[in-house]
Amino acid sequence: MRAILLALVVLAANADMAGAAQEIIGAKDGKDIVTVRNAEQTGSKQALPIFPGISGKTAGAKHLSMLRVVIPPGATAKAHAHKGYESAVYLLQGTVETRYGEGLKKSIVNKAGDFIFIPPDVPHQPTNLSKTEPAIAIVVRNDPDEQEHVVLYPSDERK
C-alpha cells in the first residue's frame, strides 16, 4: 500500500513537470531509491556543458555527486580546482589532455576507457584533443553540490 501511495505521489509530481525533459523517480528522503532520467544540461563554472545526474539537489545525496561532462570538439575547460573534494572520472569517449598542478605545468593524456583520480585542491584544465568529436566523461565527486566548491584557477596562456 505504501509503495502504491508513493508511486502516486511521484506520478503527480511528474505530471506537474509535463514537458520537462528531466524525470526524478523516488523520494529524496534517504529511504527510497531515486532515479534521475534524462539529466538536464546546465553550464558549469568551468565553461563546459554538464548533465547533473545524482546530487543533493536531484536525489537528496548527502556525500556525492555524479554527472556527465561533455567537452566539445577542440574545447578547453577553464582551469579550476575542487576545494576540499576528490574527483573520479571515467572517460567514455574521446582523448583529453589535462594540464594540472601548480602553474598547470604537468600534463597527462587520457583516452576512452581510462579511470582518472583527481585529489582535492589540485588545479586542472582538460582539453579535448579532437577537433571533430566531443569528449564525454562520467564524473563522481564526494561533494553533493557539484559546482559549489569549484574554484577557478588562473590558467597559463602559453598554449
Q: What is the pLDDT along the chain (159 residues), one digit of tens a residue?
A: 343 333 333 333 333 333 457 899 999 998 999 999 988 898 888 889 889 899 999 999 999 999 999 999 999 999 999 999 999 999 999 999 999 999 999 999 999 999 999 999 999 999 999 999 999 999 999 998 877 888 998 765 444
Looking at the structure of the chain, the number of domains it has is 2
Same domain for 112 and 57, yes or no, is: yes
Angle at 81 between CA 80 and CA 86, to 5 degrees: 145
Same domain for 32 and 52, yes or no, is: no
Asked if 59 contacts 71 with a C-beta cutoff of 8 angstroms, the reply is: no
Residue span of the structural domain in which 7 resides: 1-38
Residue type for position 71: I
| Sheet of 150-152, strands arranged across | 106-111, 95-100, 124-128, 80-82, 150-152
| 120 part of a folded domain | yes
Instruction: Read off the CATH number of the domain in which 100 is found.
Output: 2.60.120.10
| 157 part of a folded domain | no
Pairing of strands 50-54, 23-25: unpaired
